[in-house]
Chain A
Amino acid sequence: GAGVSQSPSNKVTEKGKDVELRCDPISGHTALYWYRQSLGQGLEFLIYFQGNSAPDKSGLPSDRFSAERTGGSVSTLTIQRTQQEDSAVYLCASSLVSSGGRYEQYFGPGTRLTVT
Chain B
Amino acid sequence: GDSVTQMEGPVTLSEEAFLTINCTYTATGYPSLFWYVQYPGEGLQLLLKATKADDKGSNKGFEATYRKETTSFHLEKGSVQVSDSAVYFCALNGNQFYFGTGTSLTVIP
Closest CB in chain A relative to B1 CB, distance in Å: 10
List residues of chain A with CB within 8 A of the CB of B95: 97, 99, 101
Total number of residue pairs linking A and B with CB closer than 8 Å: 64
Q: Which residues of B contact A43 (CB under 8 A)?
A: 44, 89, 99, 102
Asked if A107 is an interface residue, CB under 8 A from chain B, the answer is yes
CA distance A35 to B92 in the complex (A): 15
- Judge whether A91 and B44 touch: CB under 8 Å: yes
Q: Mark B22-59, 1 if CB is under 8 A from A, else 0.
A: 00000001111010100000011110010110000000
Q: Chain B residues near A103: list those with CB within 8 A.
A: 32, 93
CB neighbours (8 Å) of A110 from chain B are 43
Contacts of B44 in A (CB 8 A): 43, 91, 93, 107
Q: How many residues of B contact A (CB 8 A)?
A: 26
Asked if A101 contacts B99 (CB within 8 A), the reply is no
B97 CB–A CB distance under 8 Å:
yes
Q: Which of A42, A91, A102, A105 contacts B97 (CB 8 A)?
A: A105
A101 in contact with B92 (CB, 8 Å): yes
B31 closest partner in A (C-beta): A101
Which of A33, A41, A43, A91 lies at the interface centre, i.e. has the most chain B CB atoms within 10 A of its CB? A43
Q: How far is the CB of A69 from chain B (nearest CB, A)?
A: 15
Residues on A with C-beta less than 8 A from B89 are 42-43
Binding site for B on A (CB under 8 A): 33, 35, 41-43, 45, 48, 50, 56, 91, 93, 95, 97, 99-110
Can you list 6 A-B contacts with CB-CB less than 8 angstroms, sorted by A residue number?
A33-B97, A42-B100, A93-B44, A97-B95, A105-B91, A108-B43
